[in-house]
Amino acid sequence: MSTKVTTSSLMKMKQEGKKITALTAYDYPCALMVDRAGIDLILVGDSVGMAVQGWDTTLPVTMDEMIYHTKLVTRACTRALVVGDMPFMSYQSSMDKAVENAGRFLKEAGATAVKLEGGADVCPAISAMAKAGIPVQAHIGLTPQSVHQMGGFKVQRDEERLLKDAKDVQAAGAFSVVLEGIPASIAEKITATLTIPTIGIGAGPSCDGQILVLHDMLGMHDGFIPKFVKKFVDISALANQGLAEYIKEVQDGSFPSQDHSYK
């Protein structure tokens, strides 16, 4: 069995210049597949709202839904570090509620850490969680929970603010930070400045690691794919082929055959 990945493992990988691999997963079979492949970090993202639930944003996802999906993922993982993503309004209303909800990911769902969106504005929450013994992954740049405030899913280019946010979340106690929708040159400066690992998504090749939504990179759907996504296989096309063949064989009577029938 491979050694379990920890927050210390990720820090060591940055120090040694080894790239960190990360993907999302939302259920047991996908998490099992990803974990066995050797991925370092699995994020149970609130992107489940868009990838699985069919919403246009991540905003409708609830805390109970995130606990449920995280439970499914942690049951499958023996190697990857599992991070539970704190959904919209699970940490913004009060510090006590934020720490309580973060704790649920570890206590009820078996996650190792949590992720929350925001820079300097969420540093008090990061500090409170860290003091409670909860590892926190920060997330700056394009933060999907702020989609309406940002006026859409837009690349973030304010270098001064982004560098400040990165330094602030590190100082607050985050063990790593996701950089989303940031020009590669800015992400490179942030990565060189911080001692904690940076995990990029649409932030260029210089980050310490990369993360993508599993459903996007495996081509599980044929809808909109962001510019930063590479489709490594087209499962949607393969599935369509298999479904068409199934319909044909049922309709013409060739399935089930004797090979698929009990004697």
Q: Where are the alpha helices (DSSP H) in 26-141?
A: 28-37, 48-51, 63-76, 95-107, 123-131
Q: What are the φ and ψ backbone dihedral angles of 171, each rounded to 5 degrees?
A: -65, -30
User: What's the rounded Cα separation, in Å, for the pair 113 and 154?
Assistant: 27
Under a CB-based contact definition with an 8 Å cutoff, are residues 181 and 153 in contact?
yes
CA distance 210 to 212: 7
Find all residues with CB under 8 Å of 240, minimum gap 6, and list them: none
Active site residues: 180
CB-based burial, 24-35: b 16+ in 10 Å, e otherwise: bbbbbebbbebb
